[in-house]
Amino acid sequence: MYLTNDQERMLKGEYGIAIAESMNIIVKIGELYNADKLLKITSAQVSGISYKTIGEAGIKYLKHVSENAKVSVPTTLNPAGMDIEHWEKMKIIDDNFRSKQLEIVELYKKMGIKQSYTCTPYLGDNIPSFGDHIAWAESSAVIYANSIIGARTNREGGPLALASAITGYTSNYGMHIEENRKATIVFEIDRKIKDYSLLGAYIGDYAQEGIPYLIFNNVTKYLLKNLGAPMATWGSIAMYHIEGVTPEYKKNNLNGLERVKIDEKNLNEFLKKKIGNEGSPELIAFGCPLLSAREIKNLCKIITAKPKKSTSPEVWICTSRFMASKAKKEIAKLEKWGAKVLLDTCMVVSPIENLYGSTAVNSAKASYYLPKKSFSNQKIIYNTDKEIVEKYL
């Protein structure tokens, strides 16, 4: 791989050990993928914030890095394992978890990373431009940045994104290269489909990898964040195109590509076979990906239309600090109604297994992770937000 003189000096340790180690990770991974050079990045998004997901080994690694380096580009953080300022709202948080989580937060602060705690940085905390090279680790944000914005990022692991944040570089392979961003399969989607989360899961599960090209008329743009997140989870997809909507769709040649039709019957069968939509939830959790201000406003209308019953399960509404600042009135109304609005965290990366055994969600991404025995061990009840409110509140 070609390195400039300055990049060579970084690698040799002339700028300190953490920069040398970070450069070494980036160059080694780049060589593995036959990258020819390094690219300057304009931003990074780091994952691996929750104590639940990184544990003691993660803390040890972050201590080492934070003692020796700071980030060199604007960098945002994924959600943590609890609401950083109001953890007392979450009955699941014990003293040990709280102190470990706060320790992690301090380590990231020391490195100069913005305390955003969101998987939707593209909604305001960290917005790249078309064509920017970036190094983002959160798969739902990666697919959004590539598809909807036209920025360029691979699905980075947490340590690799952090290494890029420190050095300001990523290596030139995968989604940074024009020809790897072309469609590999076409989906023709029935315009009656409204559940973008379930649709994303179906596409991800079917395609598994590659770049889906969707022919989908009548798209609601602000809901596209909910389409990409499960696509990137049920498959390892980093980008998709939508005809007439996304910025790079015109660059594709669809001749010879497999074509798949999707209608509501396909989605219902998928829901029954792979997720499940029946049962009595102990917890209802909205916000995976974390809710936008517009989604909070919509949810507020649906939820507060009727009073909370004494038998209703606990309701979590997960969003970011930035989005919460845009929906203060609705958040106050939801809390008065009896919902818990949680910032900085989500139902997947917080330790819900400490208290709950069954959770209702309207997120097909959460439906993928929550049932895993070694992770959250939940029985999942998937429904749309309206169905959840009608059935359980």
Q: Which residues bind ligand F3S (CB under 6 A)?
A: 78-79, 119, 140, 229, 288-290, 346, 348-349, 365-366
Please say which residue, 183 or 232, places its beta carbon nearer to ligand F3S: 232
Q: Which two tokens stand for residue 334?
A: 């939801």
As measured in angstroms, the least distance from the Cβ of 113 to ligand F3S is: 16
Would you say 35 or 352 has its CB closer to ligand F3S? 352
Helix (H) or strand (E) holding 324: helix 321-324
Measure CA 139 to chain center.
5
Report the alpha-carbon distance of residue 167 to residue 30 in Å, rounded.
14
> How many separate helices (H) and strands (E) can be counted in the chain?
14, 14
Q: How far is the CB of 360 from ligand F3S (least distance, A)?
A: 15
Q: Could you tell me the smallest distance in angstroms from the CB atom of residue 345 to ligand F3S?
A: 8
Closest CA to 336 of 311, 362, 315, 313: 315
Q: How far is the CB of 232 from ligand F3S (least distance, A)?
A: 9
Quick check: helix, strand or coil at residue 360? strand
Identify which of residues 185 and 366 has a Cβ nearer to ligand F3S in the complex: 366
- The token duo for 96 is 């040990």
Q: Shortest gap between Cβ of 318 and ligand F3S (angstroms)?
A: 6
**Smallest separation (angstroms) from ligand F3S to the CB of 274:** 18
Minimal distance in Å, beta carbon 295 to ligand F3S? Answer: 12
* Whole-number Cα distances in Å, 131 to 4, 30, 41, 151, 272: 22, 20, 11, 5, 40
**Based on CB atoms, which residue is closest to ligand F3S, 19 or 77?**
77
CA distance 241 to 252: 9
Nearest to 134 by CA among 46, 29, 70: 46
User: Environment class of residue 371 by beta-carbon count within 10 Å: exposed (0-12), middle (13-18) or buried (19+)?
Assistant: middle
Distance of closest approach, residue 118 Cβ to ligand F3S, in angstroms: 8
Beta strands 379-382; 358-361: pairing state = parallel
Provide the token pair at 90.
Answer: 């979450």
| Closer residue to ligand F3S, CB minimum distance, 66 or 320 | 320
Specify the residue, 168 or 289, whose C-beta has the smaller distance to ligand F3S: 289
Closest CA to 10 of 51, 52, 40, 42: 40
Complex with ligand F3S: residue 78 or 171, whichever CB lies closer: 78
CB of 4 to ligand F3S, least distance (A): 35
Nearer to ligand F3S, 134 or 285 (CB): 285
Q: Could you tell me where the beta strands, DSSP code E, fall in 128-245?
A: 135-136, 169-171, 185-189, 212-215, 241-242
Give the residue with the Cβ less far from ligand F3S, 26 or 283: 283
Cα angle, residue 168 at apex, residues 139 and 125 outer, rounded to 5°: 50
CB of 203 to ligand F3S, least distance (A): 16
CA gap 165, 5 in Å, rounded: 20
Collect all residues with Cβ–Cβ distance below 8 Å to 259 and sequence separation of at least 6. 185, 186, 187, 188
Instruction: Return the number of the residue (185 or 361) whose C-beta is nearest ligand F3S.
Output: 361
* Structure-block tokens of residue 371: 């049932």
CA 123 vs. chain centroid, Å, equals 12
